Every structure is written in C-alpha cells, then in structure tokens.
Amino acid sequence: MKQPLPLLLASLLLAGCATTGGQFSRMDLDGNGLISRGEFTDAVTEISFAAYDRNHDGFIDPEEWRAGEKGSANDGLFHLRDLSRNGTISRQEARLAAEKNGSLAALFDSIDTNHDGFIDRDEARHYQAALRAQQR
C-alpha cells in the first residue's frame, strides 16, 4: 500500500535518526536528548514542505501539489490545507495540517513505546529495526 508522503518522510526521518546522531540532534531542537511530538511534527512538516515546494518560493501551488501527489486525485486535500483560500499552501498551513494529521500522530505514538510523549534514541533504533524487519 502506498504511504502518503508525510508518513513516508517521517518513517525515513526516524530511521535516519536511529543511525546518525546528527539527524537526531537536528530534530531535537531543544537539545534535551528527546524528540517531542512538536519537534517531530516540525521536522516532518519541513521535509514534506521542501519536497513539494519545488521552486523554493515558500509556498506550494496547485502544480507543485499535483507533481508531489502524482496527479490531481488529491486536489481536495490541497483545498483543505489552503486555509487562507489564496491558492497556495504556506509553511504555517502545512504545519497546521500536520498537527491535525491523525496518521502522523499515530506514527509518533507507535514509535513512543513507553508513551512518555517523547522519542528517545532507543525508541528510534527500535523503530528502525522494525522497518528493516518489514522489508525482509
């Protein structure tokens, strides 16, 4: 089954966190050795936004959206995320959509195995091992 781009990026991002201290540290914005739900959402939003914003103007227009979605099947999602109704999705609108994304929240919760509201390096490593096992 095809994973939506934000979930795919979140998976790859967390897999990278488990193997590279630098990637984990870039997500751990406050430097406390843990990735909070907000830090996780910020990182996924930024990477997803950059993947869609092909001309790097700070907005996702309908053409960039369709290129990222491989067609117009999800145009309705574009319009839902365009909260200002100006024909583009800003970083702030993308962040708000990520906050409301139940699948992204569920992914965070599944990685946060001790349910303390944070992902530590061990949980990231465990997640990476689970991804590897699925690929076999």
Q: What's the CATH code of the domain at 87? A: 1.10.238.10
Question: What was the pLDDT predicted at 5?
Answer: 56
Question: What was the pLDDT predicted at 11?
Answer: 62
Containing domain of residue 47, as a range?
5-135
Q: How far are the Cα atoms of 49, 68, 69 from residue 97, in angstroms, in the given order?
A: 11, 16, 16
Q: For 86-127, how does the pLDDT look when each residue is reduced to its tens digit (9 = 90+)?
A: 999 999 999 998 888 888 888 889 889 999 999 998 888 888
Hey, how many other C-beta atoms are within 10 angstroms of the C-beta on 16?
16
Q: Is the confidence at residue 12, as pLDDT, over 80?
A: no
What 3-state DSSP class applies to 60? Answer: strand
CA pair distance 33, 118, nearest whole angstrom = 9
pTM higher than the cut 0.85? no
CA pair distance 11, 75, nearest whole angstrom = 24
Q: For 14-67, how does the pLDDT look when each residue is reduced to its tens digit (9 = 90+)?
A: 656 555 566 778 888 898 989 999 998 888 888 889 889 999 999 999 999 998
Q: Is the confidence at residue 75, as pLDDT, over 90?
A: no
Q: Count of domains in the chain?
A: 1
Q: How far are the Cα atoms of 49, 67, 70, 135 from residue 42, in angstroms, in the given order?
A: 10, 23, 24, 27
Question: What was the pLDDT predicted at 1?
Answer: 40
What's the whole-number mean pLDDT along residues 60-89? 89
Q: Is the confidence at residue 4, as pLDDT, over 70?
A: no
Most confident of 39-43, 66-70, 79-83, 128-132: 79-83
Question: What sign does the CA torsion over 77, 105, 93, 40 have?
Answer: negative
